[in-house]
A and B are shown apart, each in its own frame.
Chain A
Amino acid sequence: MTPRSSRSAFAISRPAFAILLAAALVATACAPEDDDTASTKPTASGSESSATADPCAKETLETHTPGTLTITTDKPAYPPWFEDDDPANGKGYEGAVAAAVAEQLGFTPDEVTWTRTKFDAAIAPGPKDWDFDINQFSITEERKQAVDFSSPYYDVTQAVITTAGSKAAKATSLADLKGLKIGAQVGTTSYDSIISTIDPDQKPAVYNSNDDAKQALENGQIDALVVDLPTAFYITAAELADGKIVGQLPSGSGEQEQFGLVLDKGSPLTECVSAAVDELRADGTLETLVDEWLSRAGGAPVLS
């Protein structure tokens, strides 16, 4: 899967890159926010009549098809990001976030059209026949050369996975994991989080890739494996015969990978979509949706 390879590449990023990214995030997150918090206030106070001053009012938004919001994702759309391969039902984390963003922008569910776009095609340069794409896109400098990103709607966390027969299968807390042999890919945030949050008694096993680590897990050479949560969902669902997510690790320090909505480069909607995401983050909607769709429905409780 392309999303995964891009993520691991990100995890081994270099300092200059990390600083650039941080700077860029600050820049994209702050600059529009200042404009928008000022301009969205009238909308928030409910006075639609003052929409002339609001660049993010539904009528002024230059969507691909006037009057409707066209959202896209890859096919198949799989849990816990979507449910039943039907993005329009507003279920699954990304399905729910997309619905919330549409609502925030003033579109009713009837005014939202869903299409399907391949992951790679979405971030390729060139004109787009949709307004935004939601498909676990990590925000990276390279991709920003070709497309616009909204403010991040998801901060990637680390998760512990194992197989049904393993000693880790019954673990419910960080303390239960302490005595076990845990593995991770070298140079990743996953490895750092083993040290900083679990601090196991045995030295963690370190692998060149998650594929090697997975093999060791299946062989019983390690009891559990730490990967980022999106990868955890994929590995346990698609790659391990009897895979199981033990839980998420509490978010540690260090650089944070984030997902953003993808828009056409220079899209007139970028600032408004970002403002909508920022609003959802500020009012706690994103947190609620993470809890509902990833922690509970996805079966990945946060370990403590």
Chain B
Amino acid sequence: MTAPAQVFPELSPAQQERLAYRRGQGRRSRLLAGTSTVVFLVMMGAVVVLSPGWDRVKEQFLDPQVAKESFPAILEGFWLNLRVLAVSAVLIVVVGLGIAAMRTLRGPVFAPLRVLATVYTDVFRGFPLIVLLYIIGFGVPGLRLQGVPTSPVVLGGLALVLTYSAYVAEVFRAGIETVHPSQRMAARSLGLTYGQSMRRVVLPQAVRRVTPPLLNDFVALQKDVGLISVLGAVDAVRAAQIEVARTYDFTPYLVAGLLFVLLAVPTVRLADWVNLRAARRQQAGGVL
């Protein structure tokens, strides 16, 4: 950073010495950090590679040939994960926000709505996702009603939306309740209606505060989407499982796992960036 040099164009020899010392300390600490990281990684690597079972593990989990052969099937499954993820994530946010709004409504008239929202979050947060998947995925088509979908993808997506919107609704509610009442009162005293103050004052602050937990839920959803495979759909992990059964080699699982990591990393980075930008805007150039 050149900022100090601009503020103090002429530095005293003592200050220059101080800065040089600090730079030296910085270099030293970076060097130490780098060296210790390398040493640590080499040691960890050595422990794994020199272990007695390494050759067998390498063969069973890191076979490049198997990885190459299984990749197209796993990628095809992953594409299903992505499509279900995209659609259900949007629905989850919409439903979750709706439930949160219902639960935070004021006034005795809205008591039934509040109760309904509370019951919804209690039930669907408590219900194990896998059981819900079975009940909706096999139970609903079992009714054999006209027009009711039988596709495992649609029904599985529905179960995901029910469960995850309950989580997300509570995250939103927490966000809404952290906005200080004075904000709401100020908005109302300026003449904004309840809806307007909610939309223009409360929610923008609430959503910004809960972005990290929302993101946690999103990353968890990325992986839970694959659970629809219990209903018969072939997602990335199921495709990998089929390949594992075919090749007697666990490498396909690793391939599928890495695809999920590749999906999660950019999501997290994007959210970090959005948060940072929001924080900068909020501070509007101020330093405090």
Q: Decide: A14 and B138 in contact? CB cutoff 8 A.
A: no
Q: Decide: A222 and B232 in contact? CB cutoff 8 A.
A: yes
Q: Taking the complex as formed, is A221 at the interface, i.e. its CB lies under 8 A from any CB of chain B?
A: yes
CA distance A191 to B243 in the complex (A): 11
CA distance A205 to B230 in the complex (A): 10
CA distance A186 to B237 in the complex (A): 12
Q: Taking the complex as formed, is B234 at the interface, i.e. its CB lies under 8 A from any CB of chain A?
A: yes
Q: Taking the complex as formed, is A216 at the interface, i.e. its CB lies under 8 A from any CB of chain B?
A: yes
In the assembled complex, how far is the CB of residue A204 from the closest CB belonging to chain B, in whole angstroms? 8
Q: Decide: A207 and B141 in contact? CB cutoff 8 A.
A: no
Within 8 A of A (CB), among B59-93: none
CA distance A220 to B145 in the complex (A): 12
Q: Taking the complex as formed, is A183 at the interface, i.e. its CB lies under 8 A from any CB of chain B?
A: yes
Interface residue count on the A side (C-beta < 8 Å)? 24
Q: Decide: A205 and B142 in contact? CB cutoff 8 A.
A: no
Known contacts A186-B241, A187-B245; A219/B232 CB under 8 A:
no
Set B138, B144, B232, B246: member contacting A205, Cβ < 8 A: B232
CA distance A14 to B138 in the complex (A): 31
**Residues of the A chain whose Cβ atoms lie less than 8 Å from the Cβ of B232:** 183, 205-207, 212-213, 216, 221-222
In the assembled complex, how far is the CB of residue B232 from the closest CB belonging to chain A, in whole angstroms? 3
Q: Decide: B245 and A12 in contact? CB cutoff 8 A.
A: yes
Q: Closest B residue to A191 by CB, please name it.
A: B242
**Residues of the B chain whose Cβ atoms lie less than 8 Å from the Cβ of A14:** 248
Q: Taking the complex as formed, is B238 at the interface, i.e. its CB lies under 8 A from any CB of chain A?
A: yes
**Residues of the B chain whose Cβ atoms lie less than 8 Å from the Cβ of A218:** 142
Known contacts A215-B142, A216-B138, A220-B144; A192/B246 CB under 8 A:
yes
**Residues of the B chain whose Cβ atoms lie less than 8 Å from the Cβ of A215:** 138, 142
Q: Decide: A219 and B229 in contact? CB cutoff 8 A.
A: no
**Residues of the A chain whose Cβ atoms lie less than 8 Å from the Cβ of B142:** 215, 218-219
Q: Decide: A220 and B234 in contact? CB cutoff 8 A.
A: no
